[in-house]
């Protein structure tokens, strides 16, 4: 059986795990990250894309608010290319308690959240679709954040410093000698090959799955998976992050992310983070709540719905997951359980992932008896060196004037053939969903209806795949897209789904592809 040696083994390929492996590598440790699927395919890739200002938690969770304030400023310096600086609004609707605005303003002042109350007419000029009956409006430095750019930026930086990134490697067991974790047994999900990874310290950064990983070490970590659903609308109904000015609740925020806007979210405790059913009641609730911020929201075209599981940690039993703080927790299992060489970093948010990584790697240094400072506060991620924020029109500008040699494969996201080929080479994958996360391929209004058969043909020819692999990749992509479209089939989206069905089953007969 192949064996690898490293100082630090990181389990989990979301934002926290990617941050940990980058921080460890930058401090000079040999480091390996393993993730059972693609990077950022779990909770990190299933949130609404908000870079928190801290305003959402200023009243109810001041510790989390202060963390968000500080990390928001740091990420604006170090991950600018992953951020669109949309700004944020908190507005009081006729369904909200007008007195909460004063409590909110005081909470922001106490936690350091930059805040300005602006006249309602000014807010309506900024966002003309807002309900004109809003009574108060506050600005905060919210923004939208591309999670896949962020995580892969961390992975690229970590590899630059010598780390190994191993997606599609599932941890089967943690190897324990006496009272110490000394490594892990992993399996390549694509080939079935098993390998042992010997490590001096194992960092459990598995998010909502951290409890399952801890069990492999004989430790108990009670993670409360909090299910949240989100719905993407097919265009930007707002260009600013818009929040209801009230205590956090379901469906009280709309985030413009790339060419769509996302409303979220619910918060329901579930027993299994891999089983996140979206119910019709939840969809209806999101659409109804959106109507309270943007009249006509229900009539807009709902593009896709999905669910993610928050990795909430509480030392005490709770009935309502909204009662659980969004701050992070480090569990040193040497102190807690008498198990050396093993730490868990859990809780938190994508906005605070860098701070969580710093906390975890500080613990690694303590375990290894060294003192090495963290540098992630200052060193930017790849492509963010110039500190220029993402601009929505960048892909259009890159295509004008249109070079005749540049064939566009995905019209919704303006992805060219050459860009698609470059991503296939860089990712070294035959999985179209992996390419989607890299380029946003098939994430526009047609949900892959016009681009995925083209992309499959390019993947087939470029990677010289046999027909079975190419057909399987196409079918897997279509099935995954269908999961998010099926619960919201009505109106224009139903017509689009029928068109896609005619294309893929009527013309291409995908259900009868040769195997």
* Residue pair 438/156 in contact by the 8 Å Cβ criterion: no
Q: What integer pLDDT is reported at residue 323 of this predicted model?
A: 63
Q: Say yes or no: 84 and 233 in one domain.
A: yes
User: What are the residues whose beta carbons fall under 8 Å from the beta carbon of 484, sequence distance 6 or more?
Assistant: 304, 305, 306, 447
Say if CB 346 and CB 329 are below 8 A apart.
Answer: yes
483 pLDDT more than 70: yes
* Range list of β-strands (E), 234-319: 241-244, 253-257, 260-264, 268-269, 302-313
Give yes or no: residues 300 and 403 share one domain.
no
How far apart, in whole angstroms, are the C-alpha atoms of residue 70 and residue 75?
9
Summarize pLDDT for 39-80 with one digit per residue, the tens.
Answer: 999 999 999 999 999 999 999 999 999 999 999 999 999 999
pLDDT of 320 reads 63
pLDDT at 397: 74
Crossing angle for the helix pair 100-111 and 62-78, to the nearest 10 degrees: 60
Closest CA to 348 of 337, 340, 360: 360
Please answer whether residues 26 and 218 qualify as being in contact, where contact means their C-beta atoms are separated by less than 8 angstroms. Answer: no
- 270-274's contacts with Cβ under 8 Å and 24+ in sequence apart are 270/225, 270/226, 270/227, 270/309, 271/225, 272/225, 273/42, 273/43, 273/207, 273/208, 273/209, 273/225, 273/309
Q: Which residues contact 399 (CB under 8 A, 6 or more apart)?
A: 406, 408, 414, 416
pLDDT for the residue 402: 60
Same domain, 97 and 244: yes
Position 306 scores a pLDDT of 95
Residue 146 token pair: 């591309």
Please, are residues 117 and 140 in contact by the beta-carbon 8 Å criterion?
A: no
Check residue 40 and give its pLDDT. 96
Residue ending a domain, among 283, 305, 327, is 305
In a domain, 272, yes or no: yes
Range in 32-41, 127-136, 218-227 the model is least confident about: 218-227
Average pLDDT, the chain: 93
- Examine the domain organization and report whether 118 and 239 are in the same domain: yes
Structural domain boundaries enclosing 499: 394-512
Cis status, amide bond into 494, omega within 30 of 0: no
Is 451 a domain residue?
A: yes
More reliable by pLDDT, 496 or 262: 262
Could you tell me if 32 and 9 are in contact, meaning their C-beta atoms sit under 8 angstroms apart?
Answer: yes
pLDDT mean over 486-506? 88
Q: Cα–chain-centroid distance for residue 345?
A: 17
- pLDDT at res. 318: 59
Q: At which of 289, 305, 321 does a domain end?
A: 305
Q: How many other C-beta atoms lie within 10 A of the C-beta of residue 93?
A: 18
265 within domain boundaries: yes
Q: Are residues 284 and 399 in the same domain?
A: no
Give the model's confidence band at 489: pLDDT under 50 very low, under 70 low, under 90 confident, else very high: confident
Q: 125 and 250: one domain?
A: yes
| pLDDT for 433 beyond 80 | yes
- Is there a domain that residue 496 lies in? yes
Q: Are residues 289 and 416 in the same domain?
A: no
**Helices and strands in the chain: count of H runs, count of E runs:** 15, 22
Closest to 350 in 3D by CA, of 11, 26, 46, 31: 46
Is 412 found in the same domain as 275?
A: no
The last residue of one of the domains, among 252, 286, 305, is: 305
With a cut of 60, say whether residue 403 has pLDDT above it: no
- The distance in angstroms from the start CA to the end CA of the chain is 32
> Does the residue 449 lie in any domain?
yes
Does some domain include residue 409? Answer: yes
Decide if 230 is inside a domain: yes
Question: Is the model's pLDDT at 404 over the cut of 70?
Answer: no
Say what the pLDDT of residue 317 is: 60
Q: Let me know if residue 243 belongs to a domain.
A: yes
Does 33 or 494 have the greater pLDDT score?
33
Give the model confidence (pLDDT) of 445-474 as tens digits: 888 899 999 999 998 887 677 888 888 899
Task: Kindly state the helix (H) or strand (E) to which residue 7 belongs, with its residue range.
Answer: strand 3-11
Number of domains within the chain? 2
Give yes or no for a contact between 62 and 42, defined as CB atoms under 8 angstroms apart: no
Residue 412's pLDDT is what? 85
SS3 of 24-85: HHHCCCCEEEECCCCCCCCCHHHCCCEECCCHHHCCCCHHHHHHHHHHHHHHHHHCHHHEEC
CA distance 379 to 356: 16
| pLDDT at site 401 | 63
Looking at residue 181, what is its pLDDT? 97
277 and 137 in one domain? yes
399 has a pLDDT exceeding 90:
no
Give the pLDDT of residue 78. Answer: 98
Give the pLDDT score at 1. 76
Identify the CATH number of the domain in which residue 85 sits: 3.30.9.10
Same-domain status, 131 and 261: yes
Instruction: Note the pLDDT tens digit of each residue in 302-349.
Output: 999 999 999 988 766 655 666 667 889 999 999 999 999 999 999 999
The residue written with tokens 């989390």 in the block is 64
CA–CA dist 504, 508 (Å, integer): 5
What does the pLDDT read at residue 353?
97
Which pLDDT score, from 0 to 100, does residue 82 have? 97
pLDDT in tens, 145-200: 999 999 999 999 999 999 999 999 999 999 999 999 999 999 999 999 999 999 99
pLDDT-derived band at 429 (thresholds 50, 70, 90) equals confident
């Amino acid at each position: 059986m192949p064996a690898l040696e490293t100082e630090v083994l990181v389990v989990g390929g979301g934002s926290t795990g990617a941050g940990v492996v980058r921080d460890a590598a930058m401090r000079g440790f040999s480091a390996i990250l393993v993730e059972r699927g693609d990077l950022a395919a779990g909770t990190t890739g299933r949130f609404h894309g908000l870079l928190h200002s801290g305003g959402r938690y200023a009243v109810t969770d001041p510790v989390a608010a202060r963390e968000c304030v500080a990390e928001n400023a740091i990420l604006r310096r170090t991950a600018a290319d992953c951020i669109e600086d949309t700004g944020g609004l908190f507005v009081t609707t006729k369904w909200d308690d007008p007195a909460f605005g004063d409590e909110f303003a005081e909470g922001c002042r106490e936690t350091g959240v930059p805040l300005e109350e602006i006249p309602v007419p000014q807010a309506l000029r900024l966002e003309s679709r807002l309900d004109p009956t809003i009574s108060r409006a506050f600005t905060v430095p919210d923004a939208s954040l591309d999670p896949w750019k962020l995580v892969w930026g961390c992975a690229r930086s970590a590899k630059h410093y010598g780390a190994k990134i191993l997606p599609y490697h599932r941890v089967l067991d943690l190897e324990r000698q006496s009272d110490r974790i000394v490594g892990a047994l992993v399996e390549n999900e694509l080939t079935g090959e098993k390998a042992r990874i010997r490590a001096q310290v194992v960092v459990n950064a598995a998010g909502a799955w951290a409890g399952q990983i801890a069990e492999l070490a004989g430790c108990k970590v009670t993670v409360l998976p909090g299910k949240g659903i989100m719905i993407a609308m097919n265009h930007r109904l707002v260009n600013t992050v818009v929040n209801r000015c009230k205590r956090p609740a379901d469906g009280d925020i709309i985030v413009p992310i790339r060419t769509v806007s996302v409303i979220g979210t619910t918060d329901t405790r579930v027993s299994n983070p891999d089983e996140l059913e979206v119910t019709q009641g939840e969809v209806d609730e999101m659409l109804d709540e959106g109507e309270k911020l943007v009249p006509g929201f229900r009539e807009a075209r709902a593009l896709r719905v999905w669910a993610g599981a928050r990795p909430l940690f509480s030392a005490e039993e709770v009935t309502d997951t909204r009662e659980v703080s969004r701050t992070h927790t480090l569990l040193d299992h040497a102190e807690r359980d008498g198990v050396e060489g093993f730490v868990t970093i859990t809780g938190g948010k994508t906005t605070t992932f860098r701070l969580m990584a710093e906390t975890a790697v500080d613990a690694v240094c303590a375990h290894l008896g060294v003192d090495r400072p963290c540098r992630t506060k200052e060193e930017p991620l790849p492509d963010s060196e110039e500190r220029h924020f993402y601009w929505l029109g960048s892909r259009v500008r890159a295509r004008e004037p249109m070079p005749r040699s540049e064939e566009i494969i995905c019209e919704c996201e303006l992805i060219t053939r050459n860009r698609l080929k470059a991503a296939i080479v860089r990712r070294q994958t035959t999985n179209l969903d992996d390419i989607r996360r890299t380029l946003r391929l098939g994430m526009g209004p047609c949900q892959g209806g016009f681009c995925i058969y083209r992309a499959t043909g390019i993947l087939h020819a470029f990677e010289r795949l046999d027909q079975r692999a190419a057909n399987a990749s196409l079918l897997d992509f279509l099935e995954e897209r269908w999961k998010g479209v099926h619960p919201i089939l009505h109106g224009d989206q139903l017509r689009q789904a029928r068109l896609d069905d005619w294309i893929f089953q009527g013309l291409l007969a995908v259900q009868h592809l040769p195997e």
